[in-house]
Amino acid sequence: GGVTVTVDDGFRDFCEHVVPVAVDRKVPVLLYLATGSVSANGNAAPEALTWADLRDAVSTGLVEIGAHTHNHANLAHATEAEADAEMRRCKELIEDKLGVECRHFSYPWSLASPAAESVARSLFSTAALPWETNRGPEIDPHRVGRTPVLKSDGTLFFRAKVAGKLDGEALVYRILRRGPWRPS
């Protein structure tokens, strides 16, 4: 058992809110970064992170940076070439700009074509895909389950999610065409 704290995308609120709490509580965090939203010089949208922000976060020793494609791409129907371009560019930017190995990947919206899954297996040690709890003696490291914690969850739902008791929630969100993974 155990819980891993992960955050997707990489906006300024990660460094403003998540990193200070992680440092205060000494909790490791894995940020799955969509590198296309990172500002090179701080002159982008006000919510954008900079590479300097990310270097500071990594320097805490509690933040690891994983890939989330360059353009937050929907990989549900991606060809091998499309998936490789998105994933490889993201991985290379992280490694080049931050000087750290990028070993982990998360699919935007938890969607992937078979070709995208193949590319992820070749580039990364792990890949997060389905919205579910990881169970069983053998978990495929390239199909690691994740359960989103939503602002509206409250303590009761948070505890239930941590305990793996709300796996069916994903089905309800998909039927209602709602949820945190809605592709654009």
∠ CA(4), CA(9), CA(12), 5° rounding? Answer: 100
- Phi and psi angles of residue 146, each rounded to the nearest 5 degrees, phi first: -135, 145
Q: Determine the pLDDT at residue 110.
A: 86
Q: Determine the pLDDT at residue 114.
A: 96
Residues linked to residue 6 through DSSP beta bridges, in sequence order: 30
∠ CA(156), CA(18), CA(26), 5° rounding? Answer: 85
> Between 107 and 160, whose confidence is greater?
107
As a whole number of angstroms, the distance between CA 158 and CA 29 comes to: 17
Instruction: Retrieve residue 40's tokens.
Output: 């090179």
Does residue 175 surpass a pLDDT of 70? Answer: no
As a whole number of angstroms, the distance between CA 114 and CA 120 comes to: 10
Quick: pLDDT tens for 125-151: 999 986 666 666 778 888 888 877 777
Exposure string of 121-144, with b = 16+ CB inside 10 Å and e = fewer, is bebbebbbbbbbebeeeeeeebbb
Amino acid at 58: V
Does residue 173 surpass a pLDDT of 80? Answer: no
Q: Determine the pLDDT at residue 51.
A: 95
Query: To the nearest whole number, what is the mean pLDDT of the chain?
Result: 87
Give yes or no for a contact between 2 and 26, defined as CB atoms under 8 angstroms apart: no
Cα 18 versus chain centre, distance? 14
Rounded average pLDDT over 142-169: 78
Give yes or no for a contact between 29 and 72, defined as CB atoms under 8 angstroms apart: no
Does residue 47 surpass a pLDDT of 80? Answer: yes
